[in-house]
């Protein structure tokens, strides 16, 4: 076979490549290529890395602890999740919100240079129901201009496959659109990958997506890093594993049931 014989993308996620010191984990899919002797050398490409950012803030740790505790009652779980969402969204939009340079007149009769959030490019917020809704409850306080597009997915408890039951995304999206997806738990990654696939299929770009999650687990991160290396994920914690029922361990249980007080 001429040229590239095999090309494979893989990514190892372990404690060692999840930097805890600066709380930034860059996850790079490793591309291995086998070529025959006559094959032209492929041009070196700058590697794209998925960024997983866990802000080292005591308030984030505090609200995560409240969410983890099995003794936290539902109303408190909900408000802790909303608060955590506010803090994580604040971080996620730090270098993401489009701004414009203007001038404003101050009460002292002076003109001051001013940077304002650009209202012409509202962030498209996509909560994954149910619990993604709680995470964005206070988003309005940190994102001045936004639009909301709900999506709902349900997981088959036997196969753990997610399927959509609601999708309010517009049929066409622009490559310039900016997206913020909220989903408290990224466990196996099945749902979040489907949502991003859908955004890309409608014309959006993965590089313009920020994902906000309370807790993420290695299977979801591996899936996302392999498929969308340019993605940025903001989370309170990277947990160790996912159990056979698809729950993150140690995790915080079923986020939707706990937020809404649904008995299970």
Tell me which residues touch ligand URA (CB under 6 A): 185, 187, 246-248, 251, 254-256
Q: Which is nearer to ligand URA, 82 or 248 (by Cβ)? A: 248
157-164 long-range Cβ contacts below 8 angstroms, 24+ apart: 157/245, 157/246, 160/188, 160/190, 160/246, 161/190, 162/190, 162/191, 162/194, 164/194
At closest approach, how far in Å is the CB of 215 from ligand URA? Answer: 7
Is the peptide bond prior to 27 cis by the omega test (within 30 degrees of 0)?
A: no
Q: Which is nearer to ligand URA, 121 or 155 (by Cβ)? A: 155
At closest approach, how far in Å is the CB of 80 from ligand URA? Answer: 15
At closest approach, how far in Å is the CB of 248 from ligand URA? Answer: 4
Q: Which is nearer to ligand URA, 82 or 255 (by Cβ)? A: 255
At closest approach, how far in Å is the CB of 133 from ligand URA? Answer: 13
At closest approach, how far in Å is the CB of 223 from ligand URA? Answer: 14
Residue 93: half-sphere exposure toward Cβ, Cα within 13 Å: 27
Residue 159: half-sphere exposure toward Cβ, Cα within 13 Å: 7
Q: Which is nearer to ligand URA, 226 or 254 (by Cβ)? A: 254
Q: Which is nearer to ligand URA, 139 or 252 (by Cβ)? A: 252
């Amino acid at each position: 076979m001429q040229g590239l014989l095999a090309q494979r993308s893989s990514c190892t996620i372990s404690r060692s490549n999840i930097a805890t010191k600066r709380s930034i984990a860059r996850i790079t899919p490793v591309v291995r290529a086998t070529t025959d002797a006559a094959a032209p050398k492929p041009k070196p490409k700058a590697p794209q890395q998925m960024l997983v950012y866990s802000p080292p803030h005591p308030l984030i740790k505090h609200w995560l602890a409240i969410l983890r505790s099995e003794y936290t009652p539902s109303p408190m779980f909900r408000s802790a999740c909303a608060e955590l969402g506010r803090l994580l969204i604040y971080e996620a939009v730090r270098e993401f919100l489009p701004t414009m340079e203007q001038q404003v007149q101050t009460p002292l009769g002076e003109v001051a240079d001013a940077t304002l959030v650009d209202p012409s490019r509202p962030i498209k917020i996509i909560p994954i129901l149910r619990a993604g809704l709680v995470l964005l409850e206070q988003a309005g306080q940190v994102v001045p201009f936004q639009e909301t597009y709900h999506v709902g997915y349900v997981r088959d408890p036997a196969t753990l496959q997610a399927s959509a039951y609601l999708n309010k995304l517009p049929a066409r999206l622009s490559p310039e659109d900016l997206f913020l997806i909220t989903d408290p738990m990224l466990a196996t990654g099945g749902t979040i990958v489907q949502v991003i696939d859908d955004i890309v299929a409608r014309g959006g770009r993965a590089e313009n997506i920020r994902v906000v999650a309370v807790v993420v687990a290695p299977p979801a991160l591996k899936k996302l890093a392999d498929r969308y290396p340019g993605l940025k994920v903001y989370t309170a914690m990277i947990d160790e594993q996912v159990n056979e029922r698809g729950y993150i361990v140690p995790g915080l249980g079923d986020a939707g049931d706990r937020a809404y007080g649904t008995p299970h």
